[in-house]
Amino acid sequence: MKKIAFFDTKAYDKYWFDKINAGRYDIHYFENKLTADTASLAKGCDGVCAFVNDTIDRQAVETLVSEGVKVLAMRCAGYSNVDFKAAYGKLHVVRVPAYSPYAVAEHAFGLLLTVNRKLHRAYNRTRDFNFSIVGLTGIDLRGKTIGIIGTGKIGEAMIDIAKGFGMRVVAYDLYPKKDADFEYLPLDELLKQSDVISLHCPLSDSTYHILDRAAFQKMKDGVFIINTSRGALVETEALLEALNAKKVRGAGLDVYEEEGDLFFEDYSGEIIQDDLLALLVSRPNVVLTAHQAFLTEEALSNIAETTLGNLDDFFAGKPLKNEVCYYCHGPKKEGCKRGDQARCF
C-alpha cells in the first residue's frame, strides 16, 4: 500500500479523505503546513498531499525528493506556491482544477450581498437588540454592471448568478471564450464601466496586483470589489486608500495577500502583527472571510475524489490529465513537448 503524507490537515479534510479513500492508501495526516522545515516528515512516503498556503519552495522540493517522494498532489486549484523550476524532472505536480465552481461563485455573490446590504452590521445590531436601520442603506444590483476578471468555470458560474439578478455582465480574460453570451472588454474599459468588480483569475506574473493604485484610479466612484481567488491579485495598501477615499464603496474578500501564516488557524487570543490586515478588518464596509469559499460538502467530496484519482493515475503509470505542466502552466503553449494526455516529463 502506497504511503501519502498529508499536510495542513483540518478535521473536514480527514473526514472526507478517509471516507473516499476507503483504505486504498496509507495516509499519514499532519497538522503542520508543508514547508522546507516540515518536508522531512514525508520520509518513507511515496506521495505528498498539500494545500494552497503551504510553501513548496526549492528547499522543500529537494527535501521531498531526497526522502523518496515522487508526486505532489495539490488538493486545490491554485499552485502559485510551488517552485516548478525546482520540481521539474523530479516531482510530478497534480492538482484539482475544479471541485465546485458553484461553491466559490455562490460565496462570492454572498459577499457582495452582505457588503452591499450591510447584513453583517445588521446582524450585530439585532444581537444587541438594536433595531435601528439607519446607515444600512444599500443599492439595487439589478441593472448595475458587474465586471468579471477571469472567465473560467468559477467566473462563468458567477456570471450566471449575476444574470439571475438582472445585472449587465462584462468580462476580461487573457484567453476569451469563443461565442460567449456576455461582452468581453479590455481591462481598462472594464474598470471604468463596472459597478462591481469580481476577481476569478489565477495568480501569475501577469495578474499579480492586477488591481493596483493605477487600476483603482480608473474605476467608478462607489465600486464594490469582490475577491475569492488569490489575495495578491489586489494591492492591499491601494485597496485601503481607495476605501478611505470612498472610491470603493465596499469590499468582500475571502483571500488576503499575506494570509499564508494566518488563515485556517485560530488566533483569536493573540495580537496579530499585521497592520494592513487589522485595518481591513476594522473597516465597516469590508467583509473578510478566511478562504472558505470552497467549503461545501460537495466541494470537499470532489476534492478528495479528484486528488485520490490523480494519485491512482500516477501510481498506475497512466496519463496525468490534471498535471500542472512546467512549460505551459496555463493553456497549452506552442512547442510544448507534452501530448494531450502525456506526462510533463
Q: What is the 3-state secondary structure (H, E, C) of the chain?
A: CCEEEECCCCHHHHHHHHHHHCCCCEEEECCCCCCCCCHHHHCCCCEEEECCCCCECHHHHHHHHHCCCCEEEECCCCCCCECHHHHCCCCEEECCCCCCHHHHHHHHHHHHHHHHHCHHHHHHHHHCCCCCCCCCCCCCCCCCEEEEECCCHHHHHHHHHHHHCCCEEEEECCCCCCCCCCEECCHHHHHHHCCEEEECCCCCCCCCCCECHHHHHHCCCCEEEEECCCHHHECHHHHHHHHHCCCEEEEEECCCCCCCCCCCCCCCCCCCCCHHHHHHHHCCCEEECCCCCCCCHHHHHHHHHHHHHHHHHHHCCCCCCCECCCCCCCCCCCCCCCCCCCCCC
Q: Assign a CATH topology to domain 3-99+297-315.
A: Rossmann fold (3.40.50)
pLDDT tens-digit readout, 77-89: 889 899 999 999 9
Average pLDDT over residues 188-203: 97
pLDDT tens-digit readout, 152-174: 999 999 999 999 999 999 999 99
pLDDT recorded at residue 221: 98
Question: Per the residue annotation, which of 75, 230, 249, 323 is the catalytic one?
Answer: 230
Selection from 109, 171, 166, 107 nearest residue 140 by Cα: 166
pLDDT above 70 for 5: yes
Lowest average pLDDT, out of 109-118, 241-250, 284-293, 330-339, goes to 330-339
Q: Categorize the per-residue pLDDT at 260 as very low, low, confident or very high, splitting at 50, 70 and 90.
A: confident
Lowest average pLDDT, out of 67-71, 220-224, 230-234, 317-321, goes to 317-321
pLDDT recorded at residue 51: 95
pLDDT above 90 for 335: no
pLDDT above 70 for 206: yes
Share of the chain above pLDDT 90, in %: 90
pTM assigned to the model: 0.89
The residue extents of the domains of the chain are 3-99+297-315, 101-288
pLDDT recorded at residue 162: 98
Average pLDDT over residues 262-279: 93
Cα distances (angstroms) measured from residue 321 to each of 147, 300, 318: 31, 20, 9
Question: Per the residue annotation, which of 95, 257, 291, 323 is the catalytic one?
Answer: 291
One CATH from 1.10.150.20, 3.40.50.2300, 3.40.50.720, 3.30.9.10 for 101-288: 3.40.50.720
Q: Categorize the per-residue pLDDT at 233 as very low, low, confident or very high, splitting at 50, 70 and 90.
A: very high
Average pLDDT across the chain, whole number: 95
pLDDT recorded at residue 332: 66
pLDDT recorded at residue 327: 72
pLDDT recorded at residue 239: 98
pLDDT recorded at residue 328: 75
Q: Categorize the per-residue pLDDT at 326 as very low, low, confident or very high, splitting at 50, 70 and 90.
A: confident
200 in catalytic set: no
Q: Categorize the per-residue pLDDT at 98 as very low, low, confident or very high, splitting at 50, 70 and 90.
A: confident
* Two domains, one topology: 3-99+297-315 and 101-288: yes
pLDDT tens-digit readout, 281-297: 999 999 999 999 999 99
pLDDT above 80 for 238: yes
259 in catalytic set: yes
pLDDT above 90 for 342: no
